A and B are shown apart, each in its own frame.
Chain A
């Protein structure tokens, strides 16, 4: 039934009276909002890169992020952040399945996949809370002005400096303090990302409640789920770059 008029319109997308992109305004606004938000995160990450480029020394992420819950002092570089990344990817997959179920007006599946997505989001936030706590409270012996001090990673202190030649402490090479911008940017940017995850979880919970109450069923479409999905995937997308900038390179 759609073939004939659709073909006719193909040539006149821009003639007015319809969306030139064949999307309703809400989705368009969501896309452009995400683009705007990409510039917010972009500015943060570029600032981080700029400051990092202005330093002679930058901590090795493999040394900073080598802990795993309940694993004691085992040296497991990047293991925990891999888990976090995996959780976020999986929650993105469950979200896309929820959107897919929405396309088929399958209320039960939408509810199921939304619940999994929310669980994934909360799990990610819990991981981040653990990681933050570990970094802030985990003391490291550091040479400060010729004296050995025990400090954690905060926005004002950074124990991950270059090694001090010849100085040993408990069988480890002793380091000096590192660039404080490391902690500032790490907590600032992962915090801002975490804030986005949190708001995404809140949005998803609202969407879940609306789905359960049959709001979208009455409306006849699940476009709201689609827009919430766009936001959620964007959060995942940002993580790809946060992961890249802080943990990998």
Chain B
């Protein structure tokens, strides 16, 4: 019963929330806070009762090669995140947290884990730019770029809202993208665990050994 309530809250949050690169709103009534409260109760992870299907994304990797997400990550524990390299705050922190946590895994499990960063700013994030940026975090991380509408649809299928970077009336840049990390099981290939931007390096270090087995954290 309790678990069901959590899952419902998480799904609501996932479906409606438009977190930016740089944080959540302060409104205590927002769905964002529902997830925050669960995290505050000691767990960064939200296990979903109804897992997401892995998005059917065929994009371009950092070597300029075609990358079929479903095919390439089939049977592998997989973490998917949508962000962009010109993001100063949450994107590098989230990817660095995962990178540091990953190093605590045995070598074989590190190699088996697929961490996929999908850019929400394909105009600036060319395969070369993405590759350079990810190399600075973890050379094993996979970076994908391509058509924005395709990426947006893929994100939307995971309940993650992304918008093209735009300019407001003062000519200042406005960026909107969800900051959730979705973990996909190596057993079912379903996206069954969700992390918000509050997840720390300790949270990932604690949970990755479970996630690589497809177990609940």
Tell me if chain B binds chain A: no
Which of A's residues lie within 8 Å of B, judged by CB? Answer: none
